[in-house]
């Protein structure tokens, strides 16, 4: 693999912590993600289930984890199932983990091949009263597809209808939200690679090039530095499309005088970097572009220090929304009088700043965590204010990743962000 897995003790610690939260005489069972068809008989690159990865470090398809700490047979209290690395499979698909390698990564001594899964499942179910399962949970998105976790839950409920089933998410998500030092190191590495990719992009941007040419520069620098690629579909948006929040076509020719908004991040060890920078295509901000940019930058700089224990995303938003009104008035987009007379259900700033300022970051770029969760030391969140003036074709967003602490840590502190820095680097 391109990266070194996190230390085995990290995965052991996570399992011990999870088990301590389970009800007596229960078991937890987790599955890997599916391999998703792309076209014909090909699949998209495999991406492991973040929960399974968090507990085992096994980055391979067709993997299962059993945690049954009250099972009468000590050999069945912690079991990892992996696919059998047969010679035929290796010829077609390359190296797959041996039992010994899986133990070395995860710290799990009992490793079986998936051919034994059903017989062991029967034994574990008979000796368990409650079964904990994971299905992805988010207040912002419903599962609309029959993913493996849903299919597995349906299978168990059909075959073992008298068991009591419990949700793992309320236990796992708060655990995952607070990052261990091992995870912070992986996130720092992801951000370092992301920063290198931005440096390369700065040198490549010029009028009449296409957005996808800049996307190519980003991915080249990521891959050559050990990243598995983008942590999400990158936004490389120029001109009026800087005001499209999730623009990912990246197929337009960049014009002299336009801005270019780059929202992207490298993935390293399955941990996500996530940053945004907005730069002038010709290397020089116009006075109006500079005014909008510096308004966003002022809010950005003021907000990062707020990422301390005890805060919430809602509180961060409250501060940023108030500052948006002040900056948008300075930019002449509305007046103090307009603000006094606004419809409270349709705040004026929402015309120019439509999204939230923060989301959790970790194994997923939009990681587990809700907006009302109280920040704890070790959580990592984005800080991403922006101003989007569609009628002027000016969209500016600036984003970094922040580790919550008494003195918050900006993971992109060394990445160019000042107007003068960006212009000087592009001129060079």
User: Is there a catalytic annotation at residue 366?
Assistant: yes
User: Is there a catalytic annotation at residue 345?
Assistant: no
Q: Which of 38, 246, 288, 314 is catalytic?
A: 246
Q: Which of 241, 397, 401, 410 is catalytic?
A: 397
User: Is there a catalytic annotation at residue 314?
Assistant: no
User: Is there a catalytic annotation at residue 388?
Assistant: yes
Q: Which of 11, 307, 353, 388 is catalytic?
A: 388
Joined tokens for residue 244: 């499209």
Q: Which of 149, 241, 384, 410 is catalytic?
A: 384
Sheet containing 275-280, strands listed edge to edge, beginning at the edge strand earlier in sequence: 235-238, 259-264, 275-280
Span between the terminal Cα atoms of the chain, in Å: 36
User: Is there a catalytic annotation at residue 274?
Assistant: yes
Residues 64, 46: Cα–Cα separation, whole Å: 15
Joined tokens for residue 253: 């020719």
Residues in the chain: 428
Instruction: Kindly give the pairing relationship between strand 266-268 and strand 380-383.
Output: unpaired
DSSP 286-329: -HHHHHHHHHHHHHHHHHGGG--TT--HHHHHHHHHHHHHHHHH
Q: Collect all residues with Cβ–Cβ distance below 8 Å to 83 and sequence separation of at least 6.
A: 60, 61, 62, 63, 89, 96, 113, 114
Bridge partners (DSSP) of residue 262 are: 236, 277
Q: Which of 263, 267, 327, 364 is catalytic?
A: 263
DSSP 131-187: EEE-----TT----S--HHHHHHHHHHHHSTTSEEEESHHHHHHHHHB--HHHHHHH
User: Is there a catalytic annotation at residue 241?
Assistant: no
Residues 413, 273: Cα–Cα separation, whole Å: 13
User: Is there a catalytic annotation at residue 355?
Assistant: yes
Residues 317, 272: Cα–Cα separation, whole Å: 23
Joined tokens for residue 236: 């490389």
Q: Which of 41, 118, 345, 391 is catalytic?
A: 41
Q: Which of 149, 215, 274, 410 is catalytic?
A: 274
Q: Which of 77, 96, 127, 366 is catalytic?
A: 366
Helix (H, G, I), strand (E, B) or coil at 409: strand
Q: Which of 13, 185, 200, 355 is catalytic?
A: 355
Look at residues 266, 232, 227 and name the one whose alpha carbon lies nearest to residue 248: 232
Q: How many helices (H) and strands (E) does the chain have?
A: 13, 19
Q: Which of 327, 399, 401, 410 is catalytic?
A: 399
DSSP 8-state symbol, 350: G
User: Is there a catalytic annotation at residue 399?
Assistant: yes
Look at residues 33, 272, 23, 58 and name the one whose alpha carbon lies nearest to residue 134: 33
Helix (H, G, I), strand (E, B) or coil at 121: helix
User: Is there a catalytic annotation at residue 251?
Assistant: no
Joined tokens for residue 164: 């009591």
Q: Which of 359, 364, 367, 410 is catalytic?
A: 359
The owner of tokens 């939009």 is 366
Cβ–Cβ under 8 Å, residues 18 and 56 = no
Q: Where in the sequence numbering do the catalytic residues fall? A: 41, 246, 263, 274, 355, 359, 366, 384, 388, 397, 399
């Amino acid at each position: 693999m391109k990266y070194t897995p996190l230390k085995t003790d990290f995965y052991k610690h996570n399992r011990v912590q999870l088990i301590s939260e389970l009800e007596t005489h229960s078991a937890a069972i987790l599955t890997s993600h599916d391999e998703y068809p792309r076209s014909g008989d090909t699949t998209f690159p495999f991406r492991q289930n973040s929960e399974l990865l968090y507990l085992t470090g096994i980055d391979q398809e067709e993997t299962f984890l059993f945690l049954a700490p009250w099972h009468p047979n000590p050999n069945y209290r912690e079991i990892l199932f992996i696919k059998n690395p047969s010679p035929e499979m290796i010829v077609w698909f390359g190296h797959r983990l041996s039992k010994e390698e899986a133990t070395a990564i995860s710290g799990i001594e009992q490793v079986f091949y998936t051919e034994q899964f059903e017989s062991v499942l029967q034994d574990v179910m008979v000796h368990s009263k409650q079964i904990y399962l994971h299905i992805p949970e988010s207040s912002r998105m419903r599962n609309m597809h029959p993913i493996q976790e849903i299919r597995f839950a349906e299978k168990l409920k059909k075959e073992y209808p008298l068991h009591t089933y419990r949700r793992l998410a309320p236990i796992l998500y708060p655990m995952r939200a607070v990052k261990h030092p091992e995870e912070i190191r992986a996130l720092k590495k992801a951000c370092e690679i992301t920063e290198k990719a931005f440096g390369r992009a700065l040198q490549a941007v010029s009028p009449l090039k296409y957005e996808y040419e800049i996307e190519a520069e980003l991915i080249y620098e990521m891959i050559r530095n050990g990243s598995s690629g983008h942590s999400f579909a990158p936004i490389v948006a120029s001109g009026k499309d800087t005001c499209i929040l999730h623009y990912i076509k990246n197929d337009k020719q960049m014009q002299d005088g336009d801005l270019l908004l780059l929202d992207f991040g490298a993935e390293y060890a399955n941990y996500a970097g996530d940053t945004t920078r907005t730069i002038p295509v010709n290397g020089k901000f116009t006075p109006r572009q500079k005014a909008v940019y510096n308004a966003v930058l002022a809010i950005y700089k003021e907000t990062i220090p707020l990422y301390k224990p005890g805060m919430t995303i809602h509180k961060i938003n409250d501060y940023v929304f108030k500052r948006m009104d002040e900056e948008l008035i300075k930019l002449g987009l509305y007046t103090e009088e307009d603000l006094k007379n606004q419809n409270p259900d349709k705040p004026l700033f929402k015309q120019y700043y439509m999204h939230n300022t923060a989301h959790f970051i970790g194994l997923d770029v939009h990681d587990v965590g809700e907006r009302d969760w109280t920040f704890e030391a070790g959580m990592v969140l984005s800080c991403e204010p922006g101003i989007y003036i569609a009628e002027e074709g000016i969209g500016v967003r600036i984003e970094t990743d922040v580790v919550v602490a008494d003195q918050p840590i900006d993971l992109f502190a060394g990445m160019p962000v000042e107007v003068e820095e960006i212009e000087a680097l592009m001129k060079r």
